[in-house]
């Protein structure tokens, strides 16, 4: 495995990779969710590039940029074991040198959900992902359904800016009790960690009702909100039911595939989770086609 932290070395190492190349962009402090993306990428490509970069421009003011967990040696050994060929670990100064002034902005689909709660977040994501696409020239890039709106935003950007690559969406990997894996889970106290399973419980509560035939979004929303409010140490940020393609919030009786997504604050940790309704749409293939624009 080659590890590089300069653009010249990256370009040189990229040239040595032949055939189909998969990219897995991450912010490091890796867990099994990240490794599942790498596993799909190694199976489906001749070479895999992973990037580790805690991207300052995607953190809103007051967020956890300075305390975001990091462990580069451990990350590199996990990536090597998983069979990655090339890892890019740039510094913020390399990605955003003095006088940097070009940003990529996706409009409609960044406005709701996380975009409404994290000022500038998606502008930072699309800018850094564009740079990583240009630098690594992948045939396919892997993203987790965990960040469902990010998938929608990046697909829109790839389409609008004609990036010559595919986007692959990978399922949400969970702890044994259902909590979606996240680098930020280390912020949780013991008590918060226990209560944090409420996101997955709300998904299942809503999923069961949906499977039993309930299609009234206000009732489904009520079920989720009641469950989350039943854990008083969590502060509900939002529960949303949106059209999985456009991310437009829906109301009334709805039959098209929906993205149910939520954000809940537990102490220092802001946790997000989601599912696509009907629940069988959460397979990799369906999630890849139903989320966002094709």
Q: Compute the distance between CA of residue 87 and CA of residue 6 in angstroms, rounded to an integer.
A: 11
Rounded to a whole number of angstroms, the minimum distance from the CB of residue 174 to ligand AMP is 7
33 touches ligand AMP by CB under 6 A: yes
- Asked if 34 is an active-site residue, the reply is yes
Find tokens 């989720």 and name the residue.
224
Q: How far apart are CA 213 and CA 211, in angstroms?
A: 5
Given candidates 170, 206, 263, 264, which one binds ligand AMP under the rule CB under 6 A? 170
Q: 230 is written with which tokens?
A: 């039943």
Q: Which residues face 144 on adjacent strands? A: 170
**38 near ligand AMP (CB under 6 A):** no
Rounded Cα distance between 205 and 106, Å, is 33
Write down the residue that tokens 């998606």 correspond to.
122
Q: Which of 192, 196, 186 is nearest to 71 (CA)?
A: 186
First to last CA, the chain: 34
Tell me which of 34, 117, 222, 280 is the catalytic residue: 34
- Total chain residues near ligand AMP (CB under 6 A): 17
In terms of CB distance, is 168 or 217 closer to ligand AMP? 168
In the complex, minimum distance from the CB of residue 216 to ligand AMP, in angstroms, rounded to a whole number: 30
Q: How far is the CB of 151 from ligand AMP (least distance, A)?
A: 8
The residue with tokens 């969710």 is: 33
Query: Helix, strand or coil for residue 213?
Result: coil
Using the minimum distance from each CB to ligand AMP, give the nearer residue, 17 or 170: 170
Question: Looking at the DSSP assignment, which residues form a beta bridge with residue 283?
Answer: none
Among 57, 110, 183, 240, binds ligand AMP (CB under 6 A): 183
CB of 156 to ligand AMP, least distance (A): 16
Nearer to ligand AMP, 207 or 209 (CB): 207
Q: Is 172 in the site for ligand AMP (CB under 6 A)?
A: yes
- For ligand AMP, the binding residue among 84, 181, 195, 290 (CB under 6 A) is 181
**What is the closest distance, in whole angstroms, from the C-beta atom of residue 150 to ligand AMP in the complex?**
6
Give the CA-trace dihedral at 3, 5, 9, 14, to 10 degrees. Answer: 60
The two three-digit tokens of residue 262, written as one number: 């939520």
Which parts of 255-294 interact with ligand AMP (CB under 6 A)? none
Q: In sequence order, what DSSP letters do the residues of 130-166 get, joined into one string?
A: HHHHHHH--SEEEEEGGGHHHHHHHHHHHHHTT-S-E
Binding mask 107-146 for ligand AMP (x = CB under 6 A): ------------------------------------xx-x
Q: For binding to ligand AMP (CB under 6 A), which residues are involved? A: 26-27, 33-34, 36-37, 143-144, 146-147, 170, 172-173, 180-183
> Catalytic amino acids?
34
């Amino acid at each position: 495995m080659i590890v590089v932290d300069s653009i010249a070395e990256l370009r040189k190492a990229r040239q040595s990779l032949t055939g189909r190349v998969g990219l897995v962009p991450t912010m490091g402090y890796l867990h099994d969710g990240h490794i599942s993306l790498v596993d799909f990428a190694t199976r489906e490509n001749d070479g895999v590039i992973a990037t580790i970069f805690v991207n300052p421009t995607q953190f809103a003011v007051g967020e956890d940029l300075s305390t975001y967990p990091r462990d580069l040696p451990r990350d590199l050994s996990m990536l090597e074991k998983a069979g990655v060929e090339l890892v890019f670990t740039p510094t913020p100064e390399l990605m955003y040198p003095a006088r940097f002034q070009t940003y990529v902005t996706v409009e409609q689909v960044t406005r709701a959900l996380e975009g409404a709660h994290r000022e500038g977040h998606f502008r930072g994501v699309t800018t850094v992902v564009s740079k990583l696409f240009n630098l690594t020239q992948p045939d396919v890039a892997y993203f987790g359904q965990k960040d469902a709106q990010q998938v929608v935003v990046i697909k829109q950007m790839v389409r609008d800016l004609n990036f010559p690559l595919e986007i692959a969406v990978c399922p949400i990997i969970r702890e044994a009790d259902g909590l979606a894996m996240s680098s930020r889970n280390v912020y949780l106290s013991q008590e918060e960690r226990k209560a944090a399973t409420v996101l997955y419980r709300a998904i299942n509560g809503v999923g069961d009702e949906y499977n039993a035939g309930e299609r009234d979004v206000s009732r489904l929303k009520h079920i989720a909100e009641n469950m989350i409010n039943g854990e008083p140490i969590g502060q509900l940020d939002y529960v949303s039911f949106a059209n999985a393609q456009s991310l437009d919030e829906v109301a009334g009786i709805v039959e098209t595939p929906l993205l149910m997504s939520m954000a809940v604050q537990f102490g220092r940790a802001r946790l997000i989770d989601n599912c696509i309704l009907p629940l069988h749409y959460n397979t990799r293939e369906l999630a890849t086609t139903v989320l966002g624009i094709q």
